Chain A
Amino acid sequence: GAVVSQHPSWVICKSGTSVKIECRSLDFQATTMFWYRQFPKQSLMLMATSNEGSKATYEQGVEKDKFLINHASLTLSTLTVTSAHPEDSSFYICSARQGIPQHFGDGTRLSIL
């Protein structure tokens, strides 16, 4: 089946640093990629939708300057959390699709000290 690889799986860094998370579709070309955020014991909240070669569409309340999304190719999207602070600590999950259904990565746990 379709595989989405997300890296890294866990990252711990100091407040003020920027963190990049990669999402790759390994065996299909993803026309659309999605980034979700999940706080403990809560559901997944969609942050943004990106199509290859175009700017990402952010959901209401998500700061586009804080969460930079690049979808440079049909197999790679990156999420960069800029100047991360403790409140950005969360579980981030990417998803990719060519049609239906969406396929999900294993998530990245981000901890900001």
Chain B
Amino acid sequence: KQEVTQIPAALSVPEGENLVLNCSFTDSAIYNLQWFRQDPGKGLTSLLLIQSSQREQTSGRLNASLDKSSGRSTLYIAASQPGDSATYLCAVIYYGGATNKLIFGTGTLLAVQP
């Protein structure tokens, strides 16, 4: 079964701290991996998309890495701000099947304290 797991489930840090969110997946035959942000009661905002041939992507204070061989991805957030507080979801598209489907991880709830 193709599963995506995120650790930790919840994280609270003081403002300004750098932090790392972890994502692991069971099958290395992925097409791409995507990180999303979800604010309470809202839809998803795409943060970074990493193709299977890439090792990392950067956008502003965010950096996402991908290691297919170990089945892991990390999202690094530099100089965290209270506005970064949200749930962060990683999702993987696997090769194969009639339609490639996005499989979501369990999510990490981040709280950045002012």
The chain A residues found within 8 Å of chain B, CB to CB, are 6, 32, 34, 36, 41-46, 49, 51, 57, 91, 93, 95, 100-107, 109
Q: How large is the interface on B (under 10, 10 to 19, 20 to 34, 35 or more residues)?
A: 20 to 34
Q: In the docked arrangement, what's the CA distance between A34 and B42, Å?
A: 17
CB distance from A100 to the nearest CB of B (A): 7
Evaluate contact between B49 and A106: CB separation under 8 angstroms.
Answer: no
Choose from A43, A51, A104, A109 the contact partner of B105 (Cβ within 8 Å).
A43
With both beta carbons as reference points, the residue of chain B lying nearest to A106 in the complex is identified as B43
B32 near A: Cβ within 8 Å? yes
Residues of A within 8 A of B32 (CB): 100-101
Q: Which residues of chain B (31-49) have a CB below 8 Å from chain A?
A: 31-32, 34, 36, 41-44, 46, 49
With both beta carbons as reference points, the residue of chain A lying nearest to B9 in the complex is identified as A41
Residues of A within 8 A of B21 (CB): none
Evaluate contact between B44 and A101: CB separation under 8 angstroms.
Answer: no
CB distance from A4 to the nearest CB of B (A): 9
Choose from A34, A42, A93 the contact partner of B43 (Cβ within 8 Å).
A93
Q: In the docked arrangement, what's the CA distance between A36 and B93, Å?
A: 15
With both beta carbons as reference points, the residue of chain B lying nearest to A1 in the complex is identified as B46
Evaluate contact between A104 and B101: CB separation under 8 angstroms.
Answer: no
Residues of B within 8 A of A49 (CB): 99, 101
- B87-114 CB mask vs A (1 if < 8 Å, else 0) is 0010001000011011111110100000
Q: In the docked arrangement, what's the CA distance between A51 and B100, Å?
A: 12
Most A CB atoms within 10 A — which of B41, B44, B105, B106? B44
